Structure 1
Amino acid sequence: MNKTTWNGILHMAVIVCGLAFSYSLFAQNLDKTYQVPVIKTDVNIDGIIHQEEWAQAETITLDYVTRPYENTTPPVKTEVKIMESGDTLYLAFTAFDPKPNDIRAFYRDRDKVWSNDLIGVKLDPFNDSRLAYQFFVNPYGIQMDSIENEMTKEESDSWDAIWESKGRITQQGFEVEIALPLRIFNFSEGKGAKTWGAEFVRFYPRETRLRISNIPYDRNNACTLCQLGEIEGFEDAKQGKNLALIPTLVVGKGRSRDLDESRIWDDSNTNEVGIDVNWGVTPEISLQATINPDFSQVESDAAQLSINNTFALFFDEKRPFFLENADYFSTNYNLVYTRNIGAPDYGAKVTGRVDDHTFGVFIANDENATFLVPGNLGSSIATIEEESINVALRYRYDVSDDLSFGLINTFRSADHYHNYVLGFDTKYAITHQDTLRIQWVGSDTEYPDTLFKDFCDDNCQVKDDFSEAAMRTKEEDSFQGIAYQLNYRHEERDWFFRYDHYAKRDGFRADLGFVSSIDKTTDVIGGGYIWYAEDSWWNEFEISGDWDIHHTDNGELLEKESQIQFLLQAGMQSSFELGFETRDRVGLRHDRSILAIDNNTTLFHEDTIWTYFDFRPSSSVYFETFARYGDRIDFVNNRLGKEWTVEPNITLSLGEHFEIDIEHVYSSMDVEGERLYTANLTDARLSYQIDQRQLIRLILVYSDIERNKANYLDPNDIDARSTDFGAQLLYSYKLNPLTKFFVGYSSSGFEDDNVPNLTITEQSIFMKLSYAWLN
């Protein structure tokens, strides 16, 4: 053999030996189970790790950078000490840093410090790779908690628990102490040692944001929670009574006026007393109940621009009762969207996990029944002014770590209306890289006979008076429909593939959920390839794409699309995306009184380019922007135009306490060489975090839409200019997630062709107080 051949053989041998050694370390770390010592006294959580307090603790080191690198040696040392007292799990993190002045730490509201230096833990008390509790803390003790759901591949920070944390920056880095009461977990109580899934994590954001862990991560395994390490102990762990009574008081005064009428102010007063109950019935089962609740939101929704859009907007749920254990009701279809329940007098929820069985039940009334009316070209919102009862039931049986079966049932009913939904779903992990999900859902619905008239221009007397929503609600008797989907995923270290098939039949409705389209069958095929780099200016490069096609139940083409995109992640915590898409899709119906697509719509062709860029050049500045340019259907006039959209967002941290977050959306469209509209939306949020518990926030939202009426086919139905303005000033004090005090002021107004000056239409002041008695 020549020298080149020998060099090649030696090179391959080194690689094989390296991989074998790495795998050996990987296997050893996965197999290692840490023992959690039991202590007899409580620990003073003050952010100062006293050696005498932690002398009995097990010490664990974080030895792997798992992202963006692949199980490399960290540039900094991190130690965590762990022990438990029978009712509390204690953790102490020592995060060493050679340059403590570079530590990124700010005083922010709870769950708002993701960009900071963080330490934390993921815990799976059932050790079955289904759900994991996540707790993270910044160097000042600011908390973040969430639930990771392996079944849906989603993480939700809407879950809030009461736990302790304190932190401080030192000359060697920073220290954090954490106390996690066992009452906040669902777990199996009983005699004998228990094994929990666990991972200890540090986020180290500098030029690159490093994720540092005590266990290596296998990128060839698509299951994240399957790779958690293990901790063992909790022989005498007790959850205790775990009862919380939370009375609430809401006091407010407001006024509003209709500018189309007399413009006289109408005053209103709010004085409401309610009570919430959180009870750990057993360590595995929880009950939440509320009587005369205040379901108002303290913080305004993120502003969204609604122009040239035929489908209803989605808003996240923010109300505590509905957020608690919401993951128990998750399925592939969004069948439980509790923002549809607007003004209940009572509510109750039971969730739990017993052995291989997971379940959730909730019930709430509502003064109205509000729901989406879905279609294949658009959706609308319907309201029936009758008190409704709303029920959701969810059950899942885990046959093994790889196979689960589930059932979902929702129920909405009023005097002249009902919607019943029943569905089945399954998830099967064929291999570590291959996952199959299937769901089938059926519904039975009855609308009031006159509901369709709410969506008519004039009682639907002639063809032009109709809309798709009117056609979808014009039903004399109850009707039925089904929906089903199949999702296959193959995910490896370097490449991935997906295939999805969705079908939602014409008669299907999910009125407690957020299902905005029906009468549509969709097929999607996609995949991509990933390259990784270490010790380079870039970390990851990905190329991916997909092809999808949509038809009606009758096989009529609705849309066909192909797209390709490129992703680059690099220094300064930056990422850059570039995408191209080409699409054929139909516009609006010519005859709105029939649902046919063929010979009743125009098929338009759209070519679009888009890009996304974000970076964090320092701890105090974050910038991102999304931009898109290309063809887009003008849905008002049913023709093709050129749309230009830019969405920049900048976040500035001025010192440790003050933050400015400004998001702007600019969108414009030209049709036939002339401007059709120009729209601007600005959402500015100024926050001053006084300390861990106190916050002052000012929110300003301003939108302005200018239309060229000469370029509209029917200019009488539009305003040349419409402007909306909203403001909210809020002070909050949070002792914990359940004990809170808010006081604030809000106002809103608008301007259009009939109201030539920006005029205030609503004003209110409010105070909300809740206090949690824990037992």
Structure 2
Amino acid sequence: MTFRLLGLGLLALALPAWAHNHPTALRLATTDAPPQIDGRLDDSAWLRAPAHDRFVQYLPADRQPARWRTSVQVLVTADALVFGIRAWDPQPERIRAPLARRDQVKADQDFVSVFIDAVGHRRTAQYVRVSAAGAVEDGLYAAEEASEDAAPDFDVQAAVQRLPDGYSVELRWPLAALRYPHADGAPWRVMVARSIPREERTLNLSAPLTKDALHFIAELQPLEGLDDLVEQVRERGFFALRPELTLRSTRDTDADGTTRRARKASLGAEFKWRPRADWVIDATLNPDFSQVELDAPQLAGNTRFALSVPEKRPFFLESADVVGPTQPDESGENRSLAAFYTRAITDPDWGLRATWRGAGAEATALHLRDAGGGPVLRAGAFATRVGTQPRDSEASFARGRRQFGPIGLAGLLSRRDFGHGLGTQVVGSDGVWRAGDSDQWRGHLLLSSTTLGVDDAGDVQRVDRQRGHRAWLGWRHLDADWFANVNVEEISPRFANDNGFVNQSGVRRASAFGYLRLGERELAGLAMHESELQLTVQQTQTVADPLLRVAGGQVVDRLFRPGFWFAAARNTGVWGHVGLDSLRAKSGGRLHDTRTLMLGFESNPGELLSFLMAEVEWGRRLDVDADRVGTGLQAQFEAKLRTPLPAGWWLEFEQRLGLGWVDGPSGQRAFTDRSAQTLVVLHLSARDSLRVIHQQTRFTRRADVSAELAAEDGTDRQLALMFQHRIGLSRIFSLGLNRASERPGLARHSELFAKLTLGY
């Protein structure tokens, strides 16, 4: 404690002089030659640009000076910000620089990252990571959820040069890729981070951020030297066109052996127009998503609730922060998806979207036509009924938000029209109040109206108009000693949103997750950089639902989970909890007491085995379909390997496994749920790669007369093989083969495709 107080005192003495030393940009004259983006930092402009090198350590322990020297310089050209970052390293041979896919620059690699908040309010920030090999990850950081979303891509250009004493990075960030208001905006803010993976992963920052901050962009610093740049470029328009040509040959075989073959050529396009700084117009026509990576399989055999998957399609990712938050909070609930869940849009024929961003307000609206065929959800307290979407629907969504100092208020409208009198409308409001540096309140109220129902057989039908609501209020607190996230919500029985994700309704829920910080500790000779005692509590009860014959006041789940977490060397995290839960599988059924022990860990062991994760929960688990408890297990495992090959190639291998089972009364296995995904990427160069994905899910159940359950054995297999040549976002050529099969029935699908995308 004495040494920590001494360190804080020394840092406090240094802060007054350092706090005003912000990154400063150099404006290049129109006659100056812009730098070549080659990573070398040897252009004449870099000799004149001021360097900012006052970095501090954030990980593994904050409030300490950085041990590795890093400097950042910024140039302003006529159409871009250019960052020059120099990363010195006393052991350059230990720099981890594997070739990696876009958006896969993680903690196992040496990288630098740049966060830019061009609105200046530190509510959201765009970020770009550049690894020491030149790989790029980009996305949005949202302060309200304290989370990153790597799905959005920006048309940036980056290059890296390895040096005898480290490496240097040049990052060109076009002004067209930044989002900022037309007038009255605050100064642009930036932060540069550098990650060094060694025995102890170190993260150094150009801003004086500590772990007490409510989110990662709380201390972004003003970027000085821009002067009247925003005023000069705010009227400048940008236009981008991305036509795409797809050639496809398909073969489908039904369970009865009938085979259908088809060949198709389709031409699509995406348009982006920014008439001035605060407006962005997006349009898509006949988009094709055959090159999008497969969703990772999930264990779904022992749940009656639908599972959500992340968005990866470009059209839906523009200014995703204006649409609303999309990341789950610490309690594991993804409440924001109730308002708008883009994966509810299955196969759009065309779409149009407009986004406006002002200094204190923002808004977006979109309308599209969907070919349909995906799932439509109708939820209850104990299960989600799933039907098939009628084809050729139209979807509309709009949200506007206004900031009043620390309070932000938003309103939204959502509409889905399937024709023939089938449709759903949602109107609502959401808000956030930042009550100081340590506390945040959030909530929403959504009202729905629908004439579309799904019966027990999964058939879509027209019903008399049904109305429902969803109300949620959450409090989040973080300080130097403890963290708390408390939520209360009510979802009425008939709440529905066919542009959102609603997998449970007819419930009232109160939940809380919190932890107490214990700081640095030593356990059995192992140095723990951080340690926490955690507690999760939750209770969900039914609201009376006469239509589904559900009585009110039944406990659906009651969770009590004391646990722990600590971090150690090699970016290792270890966590666990004791589950003293009570769960009910069906209305009127027994409230079962389950007792489980969960242990998990993740680590970046080394350059070859770059990531390892395992989580196992064992004990008395609920068999949902049989409505009884038995000894069981649920586990997931993930490993990532990267290794260099001759000719400068890199091989990337990822393996994910999932396993779940519960024993029956006789001690024999009642059911087994398995999932597996193998991903192999051969990086031929920074632009060329060959990717193979094979994944399988299988659920088997033993016949049980007493529980009136028949034997089951269902398997779903998918194989995707794709070669891709990629130059940023402007030129992408993909050639691939997809195969899928499912059993029982032995239905099979195969597809060969070639796709060319050009950006102008």
TM-score (structure 2 length as normaliser): 0.91
Answering whether residue 545 of structure 2 is matched by residue 551 of structure 1, we say no
Aligned to 2:384: 379
Instruction: State the Cα distance separating 1:737 from its structure 2 match.
Output: 2.1
Aligned to 2:331: none
Aligned to 1:224: 216
Considering only CA atoms, is the larger Rg found in Structure 1 or Structure 2?
A: 1
| Counterpart among 291, 300, 318 of residue 294 in structure 2 | 300
Instruction: State the Cα distance separating 1:710 from its structure 2 match.
Output: 5.0
Instruction: State the Cα distance separating 1:427 from its structure 2 match.
Output: 0.9
C-alpha distance after superposition, 1:404-425 (max 9, x if no partner): 1111211111222111111111
Secondary structure class of the residue paired with 1:368: coil
Distance 2:96 2:521 in 1: 23
242 and 423 in structure 1: CA distance in 2 versus 1, 3 angstrom threshold:
same
Letter matched to residue 333 of structure 1: S
678 and 444 in structure 1: CA distance in 2 versus 1, 3 angstrom threshold:
closer
Answering whether residue 415 of structure 2 is matched by residue 411 of structure 1, we say yes
1:553-702 map, 5 Å:
553=543, 554-589=552-587, 600-621=588-609, 622-655=611-644, 657-672=650-665, 673-702=667-696
Q: Is the 8 A contact 1:86 1:236 kept in 2?
A: no
Distance 2:456 2:750 in 1: 33
Aligned to 1:154: 147
C-alpha distance after superposition, 1:513-558 (max 9, x if no partner): 1121111111123321112239972211111102211111233322
Secondary structure class of the residue paired with 2:322: helix
| Counterpart among 357, 379, 394 of residue 361 in structure 2 | 357
- Residue segments in structure 1 that go unaligned for 5+ positions in a row: 1-10, 457-472, 590-599
Secondary structure class of the residue paired with 1:53: helix
Distance 1:475 1:27 in 2: 67
Q: Is the 8 A contact 1:297 1:318 kept in 2?
A: no
Instruction: State the Cα distance separating 1:285 from its structure 2 match.
Output: 1.4
Instruction: State the Cα distance separating 1:302 from its structure 2 match.
Output: 1.0
Aligned to 2:372: 368
C-alpha distance after superposition, 1:686-705 (max 9, x if no partner): 10111111110111113344
Distance 1:168 1:34 in 2: 22
1:161-200 map, 5 Å:
161-188=154-181, 195-200=187-192
Aligned to 2:498: 511
Instruction: State the Cα distance separating 1:15 from its structure 2 match.
Output: 7.3
Q: Is the 8 A contact 1:744 1:766 kept in 2?
A: yes
How many matched pairs? 723
Secondary structure class of the residue paired with 2:46: coil
Distance 2:542 2:597 in 1: 27
Instruction: State the Cα distance separating 1:382 from its structure 2 match.
Output: 2.2
C-alpha distance after superposition, 1:428-452 (max 9, x if no partner): 111111111121111111126xx42
Letter matched to residue 638 of structure 1: D
Answering whether residue 39 of structure 2 is matched by residue 47 of structure 1, we say yes
| Counterpart among 240, 243, 247 of residue 239 in structure 2 | 243
Answering whether residue 428 of structure 2 is matched by residue 435 of structure 1, we say no
Higher alpha-carbon deviation: 50-59 or 166-175: 50-59
Secondary structure class of the residue paired with 2:28: coil
C-alpha distance after superposition, 1:90-148 (max 9, x if no partner): 11111111111100011111111212100121111111111111111011211111111
Instruction: State the Cα distance separating 1:297 from its structure 2 match.
Output: 4.9
Q: Is the 8 A contact 1:676 1:711 kept in 2?
A: no
Instruction: State the Cα distance separating 1:19 from its structure 2 match.
Output: 3.9
C-alpha distance after superposition, 1:25-74 (max 9, x if no partner): 44554444443111123110111110523122120114211122112122
Instruction: State the Cα distance separating 1:681 from its structure 2 match.
Output: 2.2
Distance 1:181 1:15 in 2: 43
Secondary structure class of the residue paired with 1:66: strand
Secondary structure class of the residue paired with 2:223: strand
1:330-341 map, 5 Å:
330-331=324-325, 332-334=335-337, 335-341=339-345
Letter matched to residue 417 of structure 2: S
Distance 2:367 2:26 in 1: 42
Letter matched to residue 480 of structure 2: R
564 and 15 in structure 1: CA distance in 2 versus 1, 3 angstrom threshold:
closer
Q: Is the 8 A contact 1:485 1:503 kept in 2?
A: yes
482 and 308 in structure 1: CA distance in 2 versus 1, 3 angstrom threshold:
same
Instruction: State the Cα distance separating 1:454 from its structure 2 match.
Output: 3.8
C-alpha distance after superposition, 1:637-664 (max 9, x if no partner): 2222222122221111121610111111
Aligned to 1:464: none
Secondary structure class of the residue paired with 1:321: helix
Secondary structure class of the residue paired with 1:195: coil
Q: Tell me the percent identity.
A: 21
404 and 210 in structure 1: CA distance in 2 versus 1, 3 angstrom threshold:
same
Answering whether residue 62 of structure 2 is matched by residue 70 of structure 1, we say yes
Aligned to 2:547: none
| Counterpart among 311, 314, 337 of residue 317 in structure 1 | 311
Letter matched to residue 386 of structure 2: I
555 and 212 in structure 1: CA distance in 2 versus 1, 3 angstrom threshold:
same
Distance 1:568 1:255 in 2: 51
Distance 1:419 1:764 in 2: 34
Answering whether residue 107 of structure 2 is matched by residue 103 of structure 1, we say no
- How large is the Cα RMSD of the aligned pairs? 2.3
Distance 1:314 1:384 in 2: 16
Instruction: State the Cα distance separating 1:223 from its structure 2 match.
Output: 4.1
Answering whether residue 513 of structure 2 is matched by residue 521 of structure 1, we say no
- Residue segments in structure 2 that go unaligned for 5+ positions in a row: 326-334, 544-551
Distance 1:242 1:175 in 2: 30
TM-score (structure 1 length as normaliser): 0.89
Aligned to 2:455: 452
Distance 1:120 1:36 in 2: 17
Aligned to 1:769: 756
Aligned to 1:88: 80
1:5-24 map, 5 Å:
19-24=8-13
Aligned to 2:135: 142
Letter matched to residue 498 of structure 1: N
Instruction: State the Cα distance separating 1:300 from its structure 2 match.
Output: 1.4
Letter matched to residue 302 of structure 2: N
Aligned to 1:396: 401
Aligned to 1:459: none
Q: Is the 8 A contact 1:152 1:330 kept in 2?
A: no
Q: Is the 8 A contact 1:489 1:498 kept in 2?
A: yes
Secondary structure class of the residue paired with 1:558: strand
304 and 616 in structure 1: CA distance in 2 versus 1, 3 angstrom threshold:
same
Distance 2:298 2:183 in 1: 50
Higher alpha-carbon deviation: 641-650 or 537-546: 641-650
Letter matched to residue 602 of structure 1: R
C-alpha distance after superposition, 1:680-735 (max 9, x if no partner): 322111101111111101111133444322577335x433x333322111001111
Secondary structure class of the residue paired with 1:183: helix
